[in-house]
Amino acid sequence: MIISYTNNFVAIRPAKTGSTSLLNYFLRSGLLDSKLDTYTLDGQGEVHVPFINLVQKGLVEKNMPCVSTIRNPIERMSSGFYCGHRNNGAFISLVDEAYKNPNVFWDAIKQKNDFPGLDKIVLMQCDYFPDHAELFNTENLHEHVSKYILERGGKVDGRIEMRKNPDNKLDVFLAELTPDRKQDILDTYAKDFELWEKAYAVYN
């Protein structure tokens, strides 16, 4: 997450939505003051922090402007599934049953099983950010965040795609996922899908 007191905005990072790229756009934008603003780098603390938690801790006001990434729920599940396969063997050995195939994976998510790595994507994306948040869909992150940064006098050097997993095969994930489970994902994350569609429609 990012809290920019100097430019009055919060950037929220729901897990598996391209939020590492969002972070790096802002880090390179010139909008952040390392002495006055707060941000957490990957591997150096909690990065997927819901906005409400920041309000409860007194770090931000409840009406502070907010931006967040958002992703098609099906693609987010695919990303989570293949991310587990990409991690080291020690991690996989703990959760190999949950990552056996897309159907077992979704069942584990649905049942909120206590497997490492699943907790952050069980949470709905809309539970990370407030209703007034400006949303940047993953597919058009560059367009959304560039406009946002440039309007505030920052700079954008070029397109950023961090942690893009070449092993994330959405077509394979969908081919193996049973139709009832696909619909279940869409039903479970119906609000996320609606919000993603609105953000997607801005540039498509």
DSSP single-letter state for residue 44? S
**Quick check: 43 and 97 in contact, CB under 8 A?**
no
Dist CA 60 CA 73 (whole Å):
28
Residue 126: strand, helix, or coil: helix
pLDDT of residue 88: 42
pLDDT of residue 169: 86
Segment 150-173, tens digit of pLDDT: 999 999 999 998 767 667 789 999
pLDDT of residue 92: 46
Provide the mean pLDDT of the chain: 89
Dist CA 82 CA 56 (whole Å):
34
As a whole number, mean pLDDT of residues 43-72 equals 95
**Quick check: 106 and 99 in contact, CB under 8 A?**
no
What range does the domain containing 81 cover?
2-201
Dist CA 120 CA 141 (whole Å):
21
Number of domains in the chain: 1
Segment 73-127, tens digit of pLDDT: 999 999 988 876 655 444 444 456 677 889 988 988 888 755 556 677 888 999 9
DSSP single-letter state for residue 95? H
**Quick check: 42 and 80 in contact, CB under 8 A?**
no
